[in-house]
Amino acid sequence: MKLKKKTAMLISLAVGVFLFGSTALAEIASKGGYEQMKDALKITADNMATKMKSYTTDMSFVMKDNGNVIYSDNIVTKIDVSKKVEEITETRVDGNKKFESFRYRDRERYINYNSDQDVYYVHELSGSGKEDVFLPNQNPFKQKEAADIERIVDAFVGNLKDYVVVSQNSDGSKELSGTLSESQIPALVNAIVSFQFKNEFGYRASLGNGIPRMTKDIYVKEIKGKMVVDKNGIVQSVLGTGILYGKDDNDKEHNITFEVLGKLTNVNSTTVKKPDLTGKKVEKIVSPSENGVGNPESYIGTYKNNIVIQKDGKFIKIGERIVEITSFDGKNISGKYREEYLKGYENYASSGIKEYTFSGPLEKGGFGGRVNIQDSTGSSGMCFVSIHPSIPKINLNPETIKTNMNDYDGEFNRVFE
């Protein structure tokens, strides 16, 4: 799941604040709460990547200014690993603007929707794309840089880890929690948070989207964190809250509250269904396969570009180059090329060729290749043809037959009646 840029920045700041609370959650007999928290995260990540057949995650982020919500984002992800199906639903409110998006993917297709365009884009897959579209979850703790990052975090957290409280429940589950007040938060943390807020959100605040532009006296007032872990060591939920204080240029005080809640539910019982698009506005896109262009017959038709010259300091259209694709099956292509000039500019066609035919096989993959061409005088040569894999556009560039004018343009767009 890829977060929107602004959401990622807001969460990164919140996590930076929570890091010193949610990771600093008093020692118990064998392992401290901090180490237990890390163990739970590692066990959960491993199970999600290798053992769980299906699950649902629910991630919510809320940002408030003096009690008023100025930004919120909720992302619900449903994954059926065994069937290779995924669904992601997002609802985001930024100031007075609401945005909704939906994404579905399986081995045959993926579907995208966002409320700004109000269109469901259906990408039909073929060839190797059927398998590549669904990538298994990666365990972040198995990445090569994970150990180094963990050591850096451990060193940075330092003695804050001793503020952890672990509550053991009778059913084997446990709760790890902690609170850091203003006096317990290191000066270095406040310096980093102040710098981040001024730099990351100063510009966005100037856009008038509800985020206050705090410029002075910025510090962290409080951090709270709670993690619930089941008897098997799997994280069930994580809740973090933090309060950031500061003043704007008018000395108005702001208490910025961050709330992050993450939940893992319906393990091995999550079901994901293909959405019913009946009555919806739908646009279908066929992705290219390993054997060539998807739906090659859709490229049959007429393509044009303008013949342009510079005259009296201006660009002037004097005619058109026209390409007709008459046959294309993904492996072999054939067609015609011609030039048509506007009245009064016929003399520009006095040199070179005005029309020819082309045909031949494309290279493996079906996106381009050198094919044979022949003009009206019987002269023959070679031409390079390339097909854009997802939009109606082609390139046509003769190699051995002279075309008119030095500024020949070989890129052609499809003409729709």
Same domain, 233 and 339: no
In angstroms, the CA 257 to CA 241 distance is: 7
* Residue 229 and residue 130 in one domain: yes
Say whether both 41 and 75 belong to one domain: yes
- Examine the domain organization and report whether 245 and 327 are in the same domain: no
For residue 238, the model assigns a pLDDT of 95
Residue 99: phi, psi to the nearest 5?
-130, 135
Better pLDDT: 246 or 158: 246
Give me the pLDDT at residue 32, please.
79
- The SS3 assignment for 206 reads helix
Write the pLDDT tens digit of every residue in 104-143: 998 888 899 988 888 898 887 765 445 544 555 678 888 8
Residue 336 belongs to domain spanning: 290-414
**330 lies in the same domain as 248:** no
Q: Which amino acid is at 250?
A: N
Measured CA to CA, the distance from residue 77 to residue 64 in angstroms comes to: 24
Q: Does a structural domain hold residue 385? A: yes
Task: Round to whole Å and give the CA distance between 319 and 305.
Answer: 9
The DSSP symbol for 295 reads S
The rounded Cα 150 to chain-centroid distance in angstroms is 26
Residues 378 and 247 in one domain: no
The total number of structural domains that make up the chain: 2
The tokens for 282 are 């739908």
Name the pLDDT band for 397 (thresholds 50, 70, 90): confident
Dump pLDDT digits (tens) for 11-68: 454 545 444 444 433 333 346 787 888 899 999 999 998 899 999 999 999 999 999 9
Asked if residue 396 and residue 259 are part of one domain, the reply reads no
Let me know if residue 402 belongs to a domain: yes
C-alpha angle 23-88-83 in degrees, rounded to nearest 5: 105
Is residue 335 located within the same domain as residue 373?
A: yes
First to last CA, the chain: 40
Distance of alpha carbon 201 from alpha carbon 33, whole angstroms:
34
Distances (CA, A) of 316 to 142, 305, 310: 61, 13, 6
How many Cβ atoms sit within 10 Å of the Cβ of residue 125? 21
**Would 317 be classed as within a structural domain?**
yes
Residue 99 is encoded by which pair of tokens?
A: 């945005």
> Domain with 324 in it: what CATH number?
2.40.128
**Residue 205: its pLDDT value, please?**
55
pTM: predicted TM-score of the whole model, two decimal places: 0.63
User: Cβ-count burial of 296 within 10 angstroms (0-12 exposed, 13-18 middle, 19+ buried)?
Assistant: buried
Q: Are residues 17 and 132 in the same domain?
A: yes
What is the identity of the amino acid at 164?
V
Per-residue pLDDT at 127: 53
Report if residue 165 sits inside a domain.
yes
Residue 57, number of CB atoms within 10 A of its CB: 18
Spatial separation of the C-alpha atoms in residues 293 and 367, rounded to whole Å: 7
How confident is the model over 340-355, as pLDDT tens digits?
999 988 888 756 667 8
Same domain, 122 and 207: yes
345 domain residue, yes or no:
yes
The C-alpha atoms of residue 291 and residue 314 are separated, in whole angstroms, by 45
pLDDT at 22: 42
The mean pLDDT of 358-374, rounded to a whole number, is 84
Residues 114 and 148 reside in one and the same domain: yes
Residue 58 domain-assigned? yes
User: What mean pLDDT, rounded, does the chain reach?
Assistant: 81
Q: Is residue 368 in a domain?
A: yes
pLDDT digits (tens, 9 = 90+) for 279-293: 999 988 765 555 567
How many CA atoms lie less than 13 Å away from 157 in the CB half-sphere? 23
CB atoms under 10 Å from CB of 95, counted, come to 13
Say if residue 231 is in the same domain as residue 186.
yes
Residue 274 counted as domain residue: no
The Cα angle at residue 310 between residues 308 and 311, in degrees rounded to 5 = 125
Could you tell me if 256 and 64 are in contact, meaning their C-beta atoms sit under 8 angstroms apart? Answer: yes
- Determine the distance from the C-alpha atom of residue 286 to the mean position of all C-alpha atoms in its chain, rounded to a whole number: 19
Q: Are strands 282-286 and 253-265 parallel, antiparallel or unpaired?
A: unpaired
Closest CA to 14 of 244, 202, 247, 208: 244
Angle ∠(262,267,270) on CA atoms, nearest 5: 100
Check residues 296 and 279 and name the one with the higher pLDDT: 279
